[in-house]
Structures are given as C-alpha cells and as structure tokens.
A and B are shown apart, each in its own frame.
Chain A
Amino acid sequence: MVRSAAEKDAKQSALAAETAARESETIARILAGERELFHELIRPYEHGLYVAAFSIVQHEADAEDVAQEAVIKAYKALKNFRGDARFSTWLMAITLNEARSRWRQNKGDQLDSLNECDESAGDYTPSVLADWRYIPSGELERKELRQALQEAMAKLSPEQREVLILRDVRGMSISETAAATGVNEGLVKVRLFRARISMQKLLAPQLAPKQRGFMGWLTRKAGGQ
C-alpha cells in the first residue's frame, strides 16, 4: 500500500508526540530521584551522538569523549530542560557545542569558529551521468563502499557534515536541525543542498565508473540550455 506524504507526516507527528510524552514522564521521574532511568532516556540517541560528534571532530577517540562529556552535561543540566524542543534535539545541541569546542581546541588558532568558514566557496554542480544503477543497502557490507562514503563525508566542511548527519543520518526535520545547530532554517537548507550535491559529485563518478565519459559533454549541454 502506498501512503500519501500527509499520512506519513501525520503518523510521524503522532509518534513524535508519543515519544515526547514518554520522555517527559521519564525526565520527571529522574528529577524526582529515579536517576538510573537516565541511562534508558539516552540509549536511543547514543549512536547519533557519536556520529554527530565524529562529523565535527573527525577523530574516533575525541568523538567518543565528546559524546560522554555531552551526556554528563545533559544529566547535570536536566533540571533546566523545559521541553520547548524535543529531548533528542536538546541533547544533540549539547553534543554539537561540545564537539565544536573540542574541534576549536584541536585546531588551535587555525580557525576561530566553525561559522567563520567561507560558506560561499566551492562549486555546487552535480556530477552528470547518463543513468544510474541503484546500489542496494546490502552493498554496505563491502568495506570499500563504507570507506568511500566516509572519505567523501570527510571532504565536506564541518557545517555541511553537521547538517547532513542530523537530517540524513538522524532523520531530524529542518526545524529540529536548525534548533540543534543554532542557525536559521534557511541556512540549514543551503548547507544541506551543498552537502548533498557535494556528496553526489564526489561519489557518483566513483560508484558508476563506466558512466564517467559522459560528464564533460553533459555539463556543456546543461549549461547551454
């Protein structure tokens, strides 16, 4: 059965509301003294916290340390959680702040702020192909494919990695991504567009090598239309 987008959205909203209500009750119990429940509260988000931290610091041990620090900060600050955003968004925002801070420390004085990167730099034109042969997710069992995806991701700017991870890996909405990253929705969309096109440009020729010969001609064709 094919569901309409509106039905899917309604179902997702209902699930999100159900999760928020359950988490809100758990938070109240933790604050009332059942602190062990905090382990269960964060369990669904662990993987995402690590991946988001890694997207910024690009170093396994640092990403793990950042995720741990973020969880401890969230526990200590739980009484300040007001429920304006979802718990997962709030937790993610803490993790991203922690990761940015670690990234700045590691970078020293090379770059003062993530947001000072030149956002307008770069060519955001996709790799043009004659056709595309679908690569099933089962192919991810191949280490080379996972490595190619990770290497392409590493070539994006930290801001682009951040939004790509939140939106396309964690499945957060544009507004949640904006809340977690602390920028407006318009900038999230711009960064997401650039991240997605860059990933396509980096990976499509590599994953469809036989089609590479078409690129030059097609880029000229597209530009002339």
Chain B
Amino acid sequence: MTLNCKHVWAQVSDYIDGSVSPEMKADIERHLAHCRYCSAVLDSTRNILVLVGDQRTFEVPVGFGDRLHGRLQAMMDSPDSGG
C-alpha cells in the first residue's frame, strides 16, 4: 500500500513502539526513504520522547525521599499502622 504523509503521522506512535504489523512497517519505511518531512516528524518525536523520559527533566524536590521515608516510618511506628 502506498501511504501518504497523513497515514504515516497516524502510525508514528505505534511505529515508535514497534507495534505496527510487518506490512505496515515496510510501507512506512518505504515512505520514509523518500519523504524527508515525515522522517523529520519521526526523528523529532523520538528525540523529544527521549528528552521527556530522562530523569533530569522531572526532578523530585530536594529532600523528597527523606520526607517520604520519614512519614512512612512514623506511620509504621504508630500503634494503628495496620501493617
């Protein structure tokens, strides 16, 4: 099947996840081989997701872990902890 750009955009997310069928994957890759614009859409989406997924993007507040375990311990030490 010959895909146009809109068909490819609709599959970008599944393609990134590797969840498109082998036929669809081949069709997408045929389109990407000659369409620099869809290649840029795919590359930019993948790149942005790598940046989003990096631990530095969403840092926890300073002292978060200590406060979390402190509160947990206080609950465990209380008579009605239920644990």
CB distance from B9 to the nearest CB of A (A): 5
Residues of chain A with a CB closer than 8 A to B52's CB: 149, 153, 164, 168-169, 199
Stretch at the interface among A10-18, A68-76, A99-107: A68-76
A5 within 8 A of B: yes
How would you classify the secondary structure of chain B's contact residues: helix, strand, loop or mixed?
Answer: helix
**Contact call B48/A203, Cβ cutoff below 8 A:** yes
Interface magnitude class on chain A = 35 or more
Residues of chain B with a CB closer than 8 A to A146's CB: 56-57
**Contact call B41/A68, Cβ cutoff below 8 A:** no
Contact with B along A142-162 (1 / 0, CB 8 A): 000110011001000000000
**Chain A residue with Cβ nearest B7:** A225
CB distance from B46 to the nearest CB of A (A): 9
**Chain A residue with Cβ nearest B71:** A68
B33 within 8 A of A: no
A-B contact pairs, 19 of them (CB 8 A): A36-B76, A39-B73, A50-B61, A67-B68, A72-B71, A125-B9, A126-B41, A127-B44, A128-B5, A135-B51, A149-B48, A169-B52, A192-B17, A196-B13, A196-B49, A200-B44, A207-B48, A208-B44, A222-B37
